[in-house]
Amino acid sequence: MRIVVCVKQVLDPRGIAVNRKAEKIFINREEYILDPACKAALQVAAGIKAALTASNGATPPEIVALSIGPARADDALREAMGLGADRAILLADAAFEKADALVAATALAAAIRRIGPVDLILLGTRSLDTGSGEMASRLAETLDLPQVLEAVSIEAVPGRVTVVYRSGKSFFKTEVALPAVVSVVPEAFEAGLPDGWRLMDAYTRGVVATWGAADLGLANEDCRPMSAKKEDAVPPERQLGTKVRDSSEIITLLRRERLI
């Protein structure tokens, strides 16, 4: 069995300060971290590996961490190895510089095909930065696999997984035949710290393989983004609230905000 965990390196939000009044965004410290949602996905992968290894004693599943990004994403992949990935692959190429989610998904899917037979593809539901939560669906579409978004618990047996997932305010349970794409809700999984020795090994002996567009069989045409960021914008300054006299006005306002 092989599990691929797609990970993303994001800007550390602790280095960002937004002054709404002056309408300015300050990046005080440009540091990058492994997205917390990806850590949860790695946690789940490690859990599945432990459970399957203990239960049937057969060859333990292999966990592959996969990322697309600039050379600095190497760090995120080494941390992923510290968190349980057996090997790591970085998709880096000048052609990916302007990549949007479309190009990223195309490249990740091509890489997953190149890795060989993959049984489970795990991701965080939403990344910390854009939070658009689109990657799992895109991969499932490109690879023509079943998908489950927002998983809060995953149990694997050879050949299939049982997933409890969140949809709006409710939770549902489904059984999915592998291979499949599953995105996980980070809050549902207690994220552990990387194992110290593993992390040391990842940095000293670990190898992050680098694949370019040519390795993935992607032409320039395939790396053309269809969306691009134009600018940043600052949310409006927080206004003082409305003062009302009686409770029925509160109900009216709550209904207008669709809160009840």
Within positions 166 to 195, which residues make up the interface with other proteins, using CB under 8 A? 167-177, 180, 187
Tell which one of 35, 50, 221, 237 touches other proteins (CB under 8 A): 221
Between the CA of residue 11 and those of 33, 175, 258, what are the distances in Å? 6, 35, 33
- Closer to other proteins by Cβ: residue 205 or 243: 243
End-to-end CA distance of the chain: 46
- Closer to other proteins by Cβ: residue 102 or 191: 102
Whether residue 64 contacts residue 86, with contact meaning beta carbons closer than 8 Å, is answered with yes
> What is the SS3 string spanning 143-185?
HCCCEEEEEEEEEEECCEEEEEEEECCEEEEEEEECCEEEEEC
In the block, tokens 């023509």 appear at 144
- Closer to other proteins by Cβ: residue 13 or 53: 13
Q: Does 97 bind other proteins (CB under 8 A)?
A: no
Tell which one of 51, 157, 164, 209 touches other proteins (CB under 8 A): 164
Backbone dihedral angles phi then psi of residue 138, each to the nearest 5 degrees: -65, -45
Q: Which of residues 125-154 bind other proteins (CB under 8 A)?
A: 128-135, 137-138, 140-142, 145-150, 152
| Cα–Cα distance, 7 to 108 (Å, whole number) | 10
Q: Does 214 bind other proteins (CB under 8 A)?
A: no
Selected range binding other proteins among 9-17, 44-52, 83-91, 201-209, rule: CB under 8 A: 9-17
| Cα–Cα distance, 11 to 33 (Å, whole number) | 6
Selected range binding other proteins among 63-71, 72-80, 99-107, 191-199, rule: CB under 8 A: 99-107
The number of residues that bind other proteins (CB under 8 A) is 75
- Closer to other proteins by Cβ: residue 152 or 199: 152
SS3 46: helix
Q: Does 41 bind other proteins (CB under 8 A)?
A: no
